Structure 1
Amino acid sequence: MSLISSSGIAHARLTVTDIERSKAFYEHVFGWPVVIDASDRAGEPGVHDSPEQFYGGTVYRTPSGELFGLRPVAPAGQRFDSAQTGLDHVSFQVEAREDLVTARQRLAAAEISHGEVIDLPDSGLSILSFSDPDGIHLELTAPLA
């Protein structure tokens, strides 16, 4: 028996170096609605450490209802490293493999560096990888069938 019964992920928040640059990227790529935006206060005293002020960040609502946030507290110039303890990547689900092909074309047109669509038959998934402006690894995942 597990210690905790959870129905899934409620939200995820990424630490970013430049909130305006990150907001522009995520809004361009995903276009999710903003539910909280405290980024105009990011540089004010105390906001950087205040969960009540969302650390001066921005929170989006994904189509499936989870929240996805950006927290602007990383030092300028710092880059993400998936080989360190912590986050490896964040994967966002799309409905079909064809959506990955379309996304690849759109990322290319937007000059966003990306990988190829890869089929993973053992898991029943197809994936497409790319990164945000801080180098955080992102992935789109679709059912293979």
Structure 2
Amino acid sequence: MSLPVTGFSHVRLTVTDIARSRRFYDDVLGLPVAFELPADADDATREELWWLFGGVVYEVPGGFFGLRPVAPAADTFTENRAGLDHVAFKLPSRADLDAAAARLDELGVAHAGVKDIGLGCLLEFRDPDNIALELWADAG
């Protein structure tokens, strides 16, 4: 029996430095923040938002994308071990990918350039913890 899955709810990445990761994701993706612990949160609010673990959750169409600062400072990501390979965010068009590549250039973020692979186009780059990220646009 298969489960009636209707899509993804959320993805949360573990990061080594939440301030550095927030700057990166805010600058690169510019997603609206859905949940974060206010700096002046009282004990009741801290208890209510325990599941943030000191991180942040962004809103993406159809779900959420979160960052959780629990990885040791010297840790680094590799897609060549069990777990995550990469995270891809969908953009509307190739033109949006080209604009994203220009934005990455402005921010000094290394990337592999926009590649057309037939089914669509992609733009690959990495976050400050070396997590593999991709921007994708369907063909056509």
TM over 0.5: yes
What is the TM-score normalised by the length of structure 1?
0.86
Kept in 1: contact 2:8–2:62 (CA 8 A): no
CA RMSD of aligned residues (A): 2.0
1:22 counterpart letter in structure 2: S
**Distance between the aligned counterparts of 1:129 and 1:105, measured in 2?**
13
Query: Going by fraction, where is strand more abundant, 1 or 2?
Result: 2
- The CA deviation at 1:40 is 5.2
Matches within 5 A, 1:1-145: 1-2=1-2, 4-38=3-37, 52-62=50-60, 64-121=61-118, 124-145=119-140
Q: Percent identity?
A: 44
- The CA deviation at 1:9 is 0.3
What is the TM-score normalised by the length of structure 2?
0.89
**Distance between the aligned counterparts of 1:24 and 1:61, measured in 2?**
16
Structure 1: segments with no counterpart, 5+ residues? 42-46
**Distance between the aligned counterparts of 2:14 and 2:23, measured in 1?**
15
Give the aligned length: 134
Kept in 1: contact 2:79–2:86 (CA 8 A): yes
